[in-house]
Structures are given as structure tokens and as C-alpha cells.
């Protein structure tokens, strides 16, 4: 069984890799492989804004899961957090690849977003595993909804990016369902509304900065 010290070292390693985009290669094939994004300059700029938001969302996911895994009480809960975090790494790499392909850049605010997400995840986990899992479910619901919105905003020629976001949306749904199956309960409506407002702030700032 891992000690808290071991988990803390792992959390530090995740943070450094997340903020330096140094996870290496994704474990799964890029869903957009073999496809292309045919875009004019205006469409390219908009796509980069959308993918910057999605990349930041994956940075936040790594922070959230790292904080939750560090303080999770149950090894089963910790293993579930790690499984979801591993799939989110693929998302992070796919979004970074899309930005690089279209001469985009990650948000300059990612260190701030990562730190805030880590603190939120750790705080939820310190309450209990059920609260932590409930927070995962609510977060994944929000992410799934904003991916659905981004899919409607993609330029018609963005075939590669559409394939990536579609796979990400499916994964986020599965992560949310897994959290419920592990014992998470839906959060109160007031808390979910507050989370949506915070997500809107992140989306608006990451798109531009």
C-alpha cells in the first residue's frame, strides 16, 4: 500500500508533467489521426481558442484528480481516480497536439487553474470519498456539456478536432458514471450552479489568455 509520502511525490510529478506538457505520448491513438482540419485563418483562430479552453479543462482535471487521489481514504476510490486521470492525460496530449498543429498556445493561466483545481480536489477528498466522487460526477457533467457546446461551434472543416472532442465527451460521461457507481451522489443544485459559474469564468478567460 502506498504511503502518503509516496502519493505526495506522485502528485508533484503529475503537476510538473501537466504544466510542462511532458507526459510523452498518449496511451490511446489520437481519434483524429488520418483526418485533417481544413480551416481559413478566422476558423483557425476560433478553433485554437476552443482547444485552449479544452486543454485548460484537462489541466484542471489533472489537478482535481491529483488532489483527490492524494487524500482519498479508500484504495478503490484512489484506483478509480487514477484510472480516470490516466484517460484525461490522453485528452491533455490530444488538445496540446491540436494547438501545436494550428500554431496555437496553451493558456498562460494554467498554473493558476491547476493549483485551484488541486486545492478543490483535495478539499473534497478530505471531507470523505463520497463527497469527492460526487464532485467528480458534477464536474464531468459540466465538462460533457461544454464539449457538446464546442462541437456545435466547430467549423465545418474541423474533422480531426471533431473526432477528438467526440471521444473526449464519451470519456467524460463514463468518468461521471463511474463516480456514481463508486458511491458518489449528485451534489445539491446550489453547488452545481456555483460550479457552472466558475466553469464559465475559466472558459471565458482561457479562450483569450
Residue ranges of the annotated binding site for Fe cation are 58, 88, 91, 140, 172, 175
Residues flagged as binding site? 58, 88, 91, 140, 172, 175
The dihedrals phi and psi of 158, each to the nearest 5 degrees, come to -90, 60
CA atoms within 13 A on the CB side of 106: 23
Chain centre distance of CA 29: 18
Rg of the chain on CA atoms, in Å:
16
Supply the DSSP symbol for 187.
P
Q: How far apart are CA 166 and CA 46, in angstroms?
A: 18
Count of residues in the chain: 209
- β-bridge mates for residue 158, sequence order: 37
Amino acid at each position: 500500500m502506498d504511503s502518503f509520502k509516496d502519493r505526495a511525490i506522485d502528485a508533484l510529478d503529475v503537476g510538473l508533467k501537466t504544466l510542462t506538457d511532458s507526459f510523452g505520448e498518449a496511451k490511446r491513438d489520437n481519434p483524429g489521426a488520418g483526418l485533417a482540419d481544413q480551416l481559413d485563418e478566422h476558423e483557425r483562430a476560433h478553433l485554437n481558442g476552443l482547444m485552449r479552453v479544452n486543454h485548460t479543462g484537462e489541466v484542471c482535471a489533472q489537478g482535481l484528480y491529483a488532489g483527490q487521489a492524494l487524500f482519498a481514504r479508500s484504495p478503490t476510490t484512489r484506483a478509480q481516480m487514477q484510472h480516470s486521470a490516466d484517460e484525461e492525460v490522453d485528452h491533455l496530449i490530444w488538445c496540446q497536439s491540436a494547438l501545436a498543429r494550428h500554431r496555437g498556445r496553451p493558456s498562460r493561466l494554467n498554473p493558476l487553474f491547476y493549483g485551484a483545481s488541486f486545492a478543490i480536489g483535495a478539499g473534497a477528498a478530505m471531507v470523505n470519498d463520497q463527497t469527492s466522487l460526487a464532485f467528480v460526477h458534477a464536474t464531468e457533467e459540466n465538462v460533457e456539456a461544454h464539449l457538446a457546446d464546442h462541437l456545435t461551434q466547430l467549423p465545418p472543416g474541423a474533422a480531426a478536432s471533431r473526432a477528438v472532442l467526440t471521444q473526449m465527451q464519451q470519456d467524460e460521461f463514463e468518468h461521471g458514471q463511474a463516480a456514481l457507481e463508486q458511491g458518489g451522489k449528485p451534489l445539491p443544485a446550489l453547488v452545481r450552479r456555483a460550479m457552472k459559474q466558475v466553469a464559465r469564468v475559466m472558459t471565458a478567460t482561457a479562450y483569450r489568455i
